[in-house]
Amino acid sequence: MGVRMALGAQRADLLGLVIGRALKLVAVGTATGLLLALFSTRALQALLYQVSAFDAPTFLLVTLILGAVALAASYLPAQRATRADPMIALSHIT
């Protein structure tokens, strides 16, 4: 990031880059997790009594909460990194 900022990248561009990459990872992880969760409902159905193994509101709520936490976990460090002085960041490379 320090190199990009030293070469003239704007803070909003760097923040968008980091959030965009994080969003792709969150999307892939969410899709994989949902598929595995849906396939595992048959195995869990034998363990649950009087509760449906496939509960759509629960799946949706958990997906939204975990997605929001993952994006916040990438946004806060990215925002902090964009505030750094590029010359100081470059001086720590060597």
pLDDT in tens, 20-64: 999 999 999 999 998 998 888 877 777 777 767 777 888 899 999
Domains in the chain, number: 1
Model pLDDT, residue 59 = 85
CA separation for the pair 28, 22 (Å, rounded): 10
> What does the alpha-carbon distance between residue 6 and residue 27 come to, in Å, rounded to a whole number?
31
Q: Answer whether 2's CB lies under 8 Å from 84's CB.
A: yes
Residue 82: how many CB atoms within 10 A of its CB? 19
Please tell me the predicted confidence (pLDDT) of residue 94. 60
Structure tokens at 62: 């958990």
Predicted local distance difference test score (pLDDT) of residue 31: 94
Q: Which domain holds residue 76?
A: 2-91
* Residues contacting residue 59 through CB under 8 Å, at least 6 positions apart: 34, 37
pLDDT mean across residues, the chain: 84
Q: How far apart are CA 16 and CA 48, in angstroms?
A: 43
